[in-house]
Amino acid sequence: MTDAPPSPEGYPLVGHTPNYVTDAFGFIEEAVGTVGDCFRVTVLGVGDLYVLAHPDYIEQALVSERAAFTKGPDFEFAFGDGIISVTGEAWERQREVLESFFYPARIRSYAEEMVALTTARIERWESGDRISLHEQARALALENLMGTLFDRRLALDGDERLRRAANDLNAWFEPSSWALPGWVPTPARRRFKRARATLQDEAERLIAERREGERGDDLLSALVAAQESDEGTLTDAEIVDQVQTMLFAGHDTTGLAMTYALYHLGRAPELRERFHAELDAVLGDRDPTLSDVSELDVTERIVNEALRLYPPIHTIPRRTTRAVEVGGYRIPAGETVHLSLYAVHRDARYYDEPSAFRPSRWLERNPQSAGYAFAPFGAGPRVCLGRRFALLEATLVLATIGRRFELDPQSSLSLEPAMTTQPAGEVPAIVSER
């Protein structure tokens, strides 16, 4: 094999830690411009890690040479035996049970409930209200997830402990903890552990309800039934971890896409006008239904652009199982690899005006034609099971809100990386009825 990947200029003793912890996104974008799209950085508490920021490298790690790139220990610690972290036979067993709930026909059956749950929340909004786009979008995503997959309606003014726990799952991956060993009890790690304990309690309570009472047609009932079948395909721990995984993967990520879409709709008058014109033409004075989705082209492009500019999972971490060659460079076995979707999605080689929120770019190409330059849900066999669910939900939520309201953001937008692409702050906005 050839040489090791280059490394951007760092600091004595601490390497690239200050850059990576204080401005990971800016640092990676700058490094791609100076040393290329395969490079090595050194971070205290982590050691060396290798950043890959090219569509070909995403394909290599997630598809053609995926056996050489496995999930790392952070995923296992955070999500236990959930489908996001397990591999091999355990992953195959879990996917077999879960995927039937994410077939296109099944996902379409969730549309009516998604609109009803969204309507229940936004009916409380009035002109002049000051809301947090981030808080409201996350709340909607959690309510939709719990209502459709787990048949559990959250109280609009309650269930705060569960809501806080679902939001705090990100805390394990906050930059403030990256430069410290895993055993150091930082505030972020303490929040994560409290969140995980709360969600475990909730999962165990819901499982007990399914075992003792009447079962429905929801995902949790199917998980319990799978455990009790002759095959006994799932353990108690796997079911609990599955609930926690779904809460993270299906709530925070979709909530972020909706946050950024609503923010840019509020900041771009011409885009907002096209969006409202589409809703008026397709919906008139009624809420959206499943049959309307195929006609909401502007709305769909807004969702895709939010996923491009702000990929909810900005970095896909992997660990090499053997020495690999990437872009002519050698990465040894046992090393941490970060696939930077954020950098690829904002690369001028693949997108004109890559830092601009421009949904019209998806008139010229569709997400499929972008290949691995557009991978907000990952790629390959481990591509996100809930991607169709997320796209349908985001489209219906935006349409339901946009038919009734305009939202005027009250601050500029800045980002901070945790496990997901978080806004810095709550993204305040003023509500106006249309």
Q: Is 331 helix (H, G, I), strand (E, B) or coil?
A: strand
- Domains with residue ranges and CATH for the chain: 17-433 (1.10.630.10)
pLDDT in tens, the chain (434 residues): 579 999 999 999 899 988 888 888 999 999 999 999 999 999 887 789 999 999 999 999 999 999 999 987 767 777 777 788 888 888 888 888 788 888 889 899 999 999 999 999 999 999 999 999 999 999 999 999 999 988 888 888 878 888 888 888 777 666 666 666 667 777 878 888 898 889 888 888 888 888 887 777 888 888 888 777 756 667 778 888 888 888 878 888 899 999 999 999 999 999 999 999 999 999 999 999 999 999 999 999 999 999 999 999 999 999 999 999 999 999 999 999 999 999 999 999 999 999 999 999 999 888 888 899 999 999 999 999 999 999 999 999 999 999 999 999 999 999 988 888 999 989 999 999 99
Pick the closest to residue 420 from 265, 249, 302 (CA basis): 249
pLDDT for the residue numbered 328: 95
Helical H runs in 268-346?
269-283, 297-309, 341-345
- Whose tokens are 């090393």? That residue is 335
Assigned token pair, 295: 């006609």
CB 392 within 8 A of CB 72: no
The tens digit of pLDDT for each residue in 104-123 reads: 898 999 999 999 999 999 99
Burial tier of 388 (Cβ tally within 10 Å: 0-12, 13-18, 19+): middle
- Whose tokens are 């048949």? That residue is 151
Cβ neighbours for 269, distance < 8 A, ≥ 6 positions apart: none
Q: What is the DSSP string of 37-61?
A: SEEEEEETTTEEEEEE-SHHHHHII
Q: How far is CA 314 from CA 188, 193, 208, in A?
A: 19, 23, 36
pLDDT for the residue numbered 95: 85
Helical H runs in 229-374?
236-247, 253-267, 269-283, 297-309, 341-345, 361-364
The tens digit of pLDDT for each residue in 218-272 reads: 888 888 887 777 566 677 788 888 888 888 788 888 999 999 999 999 999 999 9
